Amino acid sequence: MGEEIHSSQFDAQDYARFEQRLQQETALLRNWLQEGRLATTEAQGGFELEAWLVDEQLQPAPINEAFLKRLDTPLASPELASFNFEVNSTPRYLAGEVFTAMHTELTETWRHCWDTAAALDARAVMIGILPTVENESLTLANMSRMQRYRALNREVVRMRHGKPLVLDINGEEHLRVTHRDVMLESAATSFQIHLKLTPQNAVPLFNASIILAGPMVALSANSPFLFGKSLWDESRIPVFEQAVAVGGYDAARFGPIRRVTFGDGYVKQSLMECFEDNLAHYPVMLPVDLGEAPEQLAHLRMHNGTIWRWNRPLIGFEEDGTPHLRVEHRVVPAGPTLVDTIANAAFYYGAVTALANMPIPPRRQLAFDRARDNFYAAARLGLRARQQWFEDKQLSASELIQKVLLPLAREGLAQLGVSESDSRRYLDVIAQRVASGKNGARWQRDYVKQHGKDMRALTAAYLERQQQGEPVHEWSL
């Protein structure tokens, strides 16, 4: 989905041609996996950070075109809405002082973003859902001027037979609004963590990412308000799931087709199962003729980009053209600060590695349905959520992270060869955040409880503390 397309209008021949290419490329990937053609490099990681642009009134500022032109870096790109943008990291081997290097690069990139926004009388903000955003801002007039986004919107409307999208969230309060386009999706911004896989470790790491989804949401939740309503601790989860709900029913799965999905089971033998699932069960959404050789897997990757699993398998290519596998862990929101962001990544990389290396596969110790229940419980209640764990244990998310997952994360980072100083520095941020019970969502709720439900004041206070840079567990009210 990251590449621009040349048309947003399609006919029956386009769908037929794309389907044929998709089948061909899926078969090719299957053969490559069987033949051992995929890269087997050491563990590498990277991330994508989505963010907001706001004006002097802290309202969304639809200026990403001018902002990105002035920013002038290959590490940044537009998002669906013209008030959102994305910055990327350089992929790095997960060893030594890797998180210090990630933190340094992100600090430099973010400072450049901040200065560039300021030159346009705007500010850049990292937060899951901007408290000041209103439904009136989420219109096609504020869509980024790219064909792929207009095509995506047109196809979602077509697949829904013109019926409006309904956003319906029951949290501390109830929100129900209708929308006729996909712009609701732009209300939610995330921090997407990438981990390169090998054919040998892909299955255990992918399944461990699924198991970690609940605890990761609990410790990082940062989206409690939308349109002035107090909803879930991580309201970004239901917002995104409902924003591109296209309807439809798959008899083979005995249920609705969900393009944003936690999935319906662990991977058993190979990540090929996900790409076979894409082909068999998900109608083509963007039937673009990409004009590339089958070996580029361009159509397979485009189709995969229109299926938003919370843990999504990706295909990429090395500099020498060798294909590789990655998992994109999509459950974490943006913010609150740079150090919180890198700490979230460090915890994920360590915990997922240790879980994947367990002698008894974790998927045999925690049923998939329980991992899914953990995810939605954590999205609702954050660190207060109950989590089901191995040996039928039930713990709060805080207890699970403190007693079980933090020791595993330290062990996993040691297995990767991450320096002890880096491991201690960033995992201590997680430990103190969880011990205090104060993630981004908790701070926002506590601020509103003390100062009243003024979304502009909340955003101003949040932005001030974000710029000061102290981790969220140290923020004052």
Give the model's pLDDT for residue 400: 98
Which residues face 325 on adjacent strands?
197, 315
Give the model's pLDDT for residue 247: 57
Residue 360 CA to residue 370 CA, distance in Å, equals: 18
- CB atoms closer than 10 angstroms to residue 128: 31
Under a CB-based contact definition with an 8 Å cutoff, are residues 337 and 469 in contact?
yes
Residue 374 CA to residue 389 CA, distance in Å, equals: 9
Residue 443 CA to residue 464 CA, distance in Å, equals: 13
Pairing of strands 308-309, 260-261: parallel
Give the model's pLDDT for residue 165: 87
Residue-wise pLDDT tens digits, 91-124: 999 999 999 999 999 999 999 999 999 999 999 9
Under a CB-based contact definition with an 8 Å cutoff, are residues 289 and 299 in contact?
no
Which residues in the chain come in under a pLDDT of 50?
1-2, 4
Our CA angle for 364, 368, 371, nearest 5°, is 105
Residue 24 CA to residue 17 CA, distance in Å, equals: 11
Backbone φ and ψ for 257, nearest 5 degrees, come out as: -85, 120
* CA quadruple 23, 29, 30, 36: dihedral, nearest 10: 170
The SS3 assignment for 270 reads coil
Pairing of strands 255-256, 249-250: antiparallel
Residue-wise pLDDT tens digits, 156-189: 888 888 888 889 999 999 999 998 889 999 999 9
Residue 53 CA to residue 260 CA, distance in Å, equals: 25
Residue 159 CA to residue 171 CA, distance in Å, equals: 29
The SS3 assignment for 75 reads coil
Under a CB-based contact definition with an 8 Å cutoff, are residues 76 and 85 in contact?
yes
Give the model's pLDDT for residue 312: 98
Give the model's pLDDT for residue 32: 97
Residue 74 CA to residue 80 CA, distance in Å, equals: 18
